């Protein structure tokens, strides 16, 4: 089908907003809970030089339709299969963040022939294998603080970004707030997506993932503690682990390092630790400037 940079793809009676950028092998980028494509704003420029980025916003998020229905990870994955089918893409790399990581895992286990390589970011196995946040953090997820939607968004930033980043880059946070205020997610849809994530249990599915996999995590993520990435690595047969400085959306703050790790992994040149262990910490000295 003919497809521009911004378009909608219909899945039955639901319209999904999808962006496409760049040229090269297709890379399907799947955002997390309540997030739109603002999530990738620090990654698009670098990654689109190497790949064709296919960037859908999940049903219920961003500019996609927000039907009042039961949401499931399987439903999100089926939506994305339709997106690839409509774009005549037989196989793609997948990159999923947070809730999008659940979707990417399910998709990879269900349709392994459609996945070349897999990147899982700030995510977990879900279910009983998941190591959850502490009680205070969990309460802020279940009941976001603030009287207005803007206040609730701003109060959540401390869970996603480091204090240093928030202090030095208030304009970045304002840009995100403006975007999310322009394309708001109704509260009841937020909870429907949240319940979809809570219901997901990927322990058995992860063992079926055959694609080479890169697992990326922020070392100080309060929402999805780093032990979850280590558990994922043990379950997925061909998995490597890369740890970054930062919290849940470390790939926004550490975009240069993250982008380079993604490019190297998808180009099959990602370097493992010298000891031979399948883990590497991404620090200021471990990657050359791009």
- Which element (helix H / strand E) includes 232? helix 227-235
Q: What is the mean pLDDT of each run of 10 residues along the chain (290 residues)?
A: 72 96 97 96 97 98 97 98 97 98 99 98 95 81 68 82 94 93 93 96 96 97 96 95 97 97 86 52 48
pTM for the complete prediction? 0.91
User: How much of the chain is in helix, strand and coil states, percent to nearest 5?
Assistant: 40, 20, 40
Q: How many CA atoms lie within 13 A of 210 on its CB side?
A: 7
pLDDT value for 6 = 75
Helix axes 149-160, 170-182, angle to 10 degrees: 130
Q: Of 225, 220, 227, 228, which Cα lies nearest the Cα of 164? A: 220
pLDDT value for 274 = 42
Q: Which residue has the tokens 């670098």?
A: 46
The CA distances from residue 29 to 92, 145, 148, 152, 240, in Å, are 10, 29, 30, 26, 19
CATH number of 6-132+188-282: 3.40.50.1820
In sequence order, what are the residues at sequence separation of 6 or more whose Cβ sits closer than 8 angstroms to the Cβ of residue 241? 214, 215, 216, 217, 229, 230, 233, 278, 279, 280
pLDDT value for 105 = 99
Residue ranges of the domains in the chain? 6-132+188-282
Q: Of 70, 117, 102, 121, which Cα lies nearest the Cα of 202? A: 102
- Which element (helix H / strand E) includes 167? helix 163-168
Report the Cα–Cα distance between both ends of the chain, in Å, rounded: 34
pLDDT value for 132 = 85
pLDDT value for 279 = 67
């Amino acid at each position: 089908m003919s497809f521009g940079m911004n378009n909608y793809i219909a899945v039955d009676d639901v319209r999904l907003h999808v962006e496409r950028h760049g040229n090269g092998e297709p890379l399907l980028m799947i955002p997390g809970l309540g997030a739109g494509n603002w999530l990738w704003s620090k990654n698009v420029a670098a990654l689109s030089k190497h790949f064709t980025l296919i960037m859908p916003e999940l049903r219920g998020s961003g500019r996609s339709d927000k039907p009042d229905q039961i949401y499931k990870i399987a439903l999100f994955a089926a939506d994305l299969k339709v997106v690839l089918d409509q774009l005549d893409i037989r196989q793609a790399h997948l990159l999923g963040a947070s809730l999008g990581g659940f979707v990417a895992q399910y998709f990879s286990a269900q349709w392994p022939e459609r996945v070349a390589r897999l990147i899982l970011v700030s995510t977990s196995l879900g279910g009983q294998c998941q190591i959850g946040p502490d009680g205070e953090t969990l309460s802020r997820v279940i009941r976001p603080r603030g009287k207005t939607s803007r206040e609730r968004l701003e109060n959540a930033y401390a869970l996603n970004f480091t204090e240093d980043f928030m202090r030095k880059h208030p304009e970045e946070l304002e840009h995100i707030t403006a975007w999310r205020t322009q394309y708001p997610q109704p509260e009841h849809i937020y909870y429907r997506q949240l319940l979809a994530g809570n219901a997901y249990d990927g322990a058995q599915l992860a063992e079926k993932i055959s694609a080479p996999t890169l697992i990326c995590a922020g070392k100080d993520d309060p929402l999805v503690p780093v032990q979850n990435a280590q558990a994922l690595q043990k379950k997925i047969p061909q998995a490597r682990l890369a740890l970054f400085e930062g919290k849940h959306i470390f790939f926004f703050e550490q975009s240069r390092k993250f982008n380079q790790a993604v490019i190297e992994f998808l180009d099959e040149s990602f370097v493992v630790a010298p000891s031979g262990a399948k883990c590497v910490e991404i620090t200021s000295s471990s990657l050359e400037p791009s």
